[in-house]
Amino acid sequence: MIKLSRINGKEFVVNCELIKFIEETPDTVITLVSGEKLMVRESAEQVIRSTMEYRQRIFREPPARTGELS
């Protein structure tokens, strides 16, 4: 999940695994696999960078352990 800002400045979190494509028209418009479109303040480059950082964190950090089985 990555944190983004709507055009009005309100922050929200989106599952970056659901991003189909990103356009700059000149506002940044993210289209999700469902067809829903999100207009954000961040540039396409910033969204890509946030997505890459998220994915690196996922693959670098071991999953949290909730308990050991005896």
The whole-angstrom separation of Cα 70 and Cα 52 is 37
Question: What pLDDT, on a 0 to 100 scale, did the predictor assign at position 9?
Answer: 95
Question: What pLDDT, on a 0 to 100 scale, did the predictor assign at position 59?
Answer: 84
Question: What pLDDT, on a 0 to 100 scale, did the predictor assign at position 69?
Answer: 59
13 lies in some domain: yes
pTM score of the predicted model: 0.81
12 lies in some domain: yes
29 lies in some domain: yes
The parent domain of residue 8 ranges over 2-59
Using DSSP's 3-state secondary structure scheme, residue 68 falls into coil
Question: What pLDDT, on a 0 to 100 scale, did the predictor assign at position 58?
Answer: 86
Binned average pLDDT, 10 residues per bin, the chain of 70 residues: 97 97 96 98 97 91 65
64 lies in some domain: no
32 lies in some domain: yes
69 lies in some domain: no
**Which amino acid appears at position 48 of this protein?**
I
31 lies in some domain: yes
Give burial (CB, 10 Å; 0-12/13-18/19+) of 47.
Answer: buried
67 lies in some domain: no
Question: What pLDDT, on a 0 to 100 scale, did the predictor assign at position 53?
Answer: 95
Backbone angles phi, psi at 39, to 5 degrees: -100, 125
